[in-house]
């Protein structure tokens, strides 16, 4: 079963712009006429953007790192807190990584994802493999992403839905005390906000 079929039973009901509807109508027609394959579009977008789009989410994370009161609001009321920074269009819950707890986001049904904050979902996020294995064997999946967590760390899996999307607030790396909010935002990757990576401290002499 394809992702598109999955999503039929899983309606996205956030307010959608006229332009977005117009583009979906066009894609629907082009796919029907076999002029375009949605998978090819996914691949192309992924290839060109790599990990574009995590900038908004990175700003949210950096603000939370430097402003404890903002962090509290963000964890308590994600949707309202990102609106403070001018981001919206998504009902959001932010989950915090801390010593002993690692959070990871998946959408087991399809590919629900906080677009407004971290751009388009990467191809692997939409894959059946990730959607099933993230729940079944998260520790193994994380190791494949290069995150090797000790057994003592609890892994929490958050299953996104059309109603609620999740964003991981990664741990602020050590050695970043003197960095500005903008510098911090540059370090935050898309994968860290999905919870399949950690934010690495800057390499000595790299700045």
Partner 1 sequence: MDAVPSREIADMTGATALPRKNGELVFDEAWQGRIFGMTVAMSHDASFEWREFQAQLIAEIAHAEREGESSSYYERWLHAFERLLAGKGLVDPAALAERRHEFEAGHRDDVF
CB of 75 to partner 1, least distance (A): 26
CB of 110 to partner 1, least distance (A): 8
Q: Which residues in 43-102 contact partner 1 (CB under 8 A)?
A: 43-45, 47-53, 55
Torsion angles phi and psi, residue 98, rounded to 5: -150, 170
Catalytic site includes residue 111: yes
Q: Is 200 in the site for partner 1 (CB under 8 A)?
A: no
Quick one: which of 75, 77, 88, 115 contacts partner 1 (CB under 8 A)?
Answer: 115
Catalytic residue among 28, 110, 132, 160: 110
Q: Is 26 in the site for partner 1 (CB under 8 A)?
A: yes
In DSSP notation, the chain reads --HHHHHHTS---S---HHHHHHHHHHHHHHHTTS--HHHHHHHHHHHHTT-STHHHHHHHHHHHH-HHHHHHHHH-HHHHHHHTT--SS-EEEEE-BTTEEEEEE-SSS----HHHH-SPPHHHHSHHHHHHHHH-HHHHHHHTT----TTSEEEEEE--SS-EEEEEPPPPTT-TT--HHHHHHH--HHHHHTSS-PPPPPTT--
Quick one: which of 1, 14, 15, 37 contacts partner 1 (CB under 8 A)?
Answer: 37
Q: Is 182 in the site for partner 1 (CB under 8 A)?
A: no
Mark residues 142-181: x for contact with partner 1 by CB under 8 A, - for none.
Answer: ----------------------------------------
Catalytic residue among 2, 28, 112, 160: 112
Catalytic residue among 2, 17, 38, 111: 111
Contacts of 192 (CB under 8 A, 6+ apart): 61, 168, 170, 198, 199
Catalytic site includes residue 112: yes
17 or 152, CB closer to partner 1?
17
Chain contacts with partner 1 (rule: CB under 8 A): 4, 7-8, 11-12, 17-31, 33, 35-38, 40-45, 47-53, 55, 110, 115-116, 119-120, 186
């Amino acid at each position: 079963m394809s992702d598109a079929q999955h999503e039929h039973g899983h309606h996205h009901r956030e307010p959608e712009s006229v332009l977005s509807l117009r583009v979906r109508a066009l894609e629907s027609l082009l796919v029907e006429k076999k002029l375009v394959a949605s998978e090819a579009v996914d691949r192309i977008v992924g290839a060109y953007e790599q990990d574009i789009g995590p900038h908004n989410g990175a700003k949210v994370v950096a603000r939370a790192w430097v402003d404890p009161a903002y962090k509290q609001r963000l964890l308590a009321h994600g949707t309202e807190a990102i609106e403070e920074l001018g981001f919206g269009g998504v009902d959001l819950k932010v989950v915090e990584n801390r010593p002993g707890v690692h959070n990871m986001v998946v959408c087991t049904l399809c590919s629900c994802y906080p677009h407004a904050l971290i751009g388009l979902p990467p191809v692997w996020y939409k894959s059946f493999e990730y959607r099933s294995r993230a729940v079944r064997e998260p520790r193994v999946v994380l190791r494949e992403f290069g995150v090797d967590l000790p057994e003592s760390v609890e892994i929490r899996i958050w299953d996104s839905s059309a109603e609620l999307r999740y964003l991981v607030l990664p741990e602020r790396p050590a050695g970043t005390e003197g960095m500005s909010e903008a510098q911090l935002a540059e370090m935050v990757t898309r994968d860290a906000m999905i919870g399949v990576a950690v934010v690495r401290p800057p390499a000595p002499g790299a700045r």
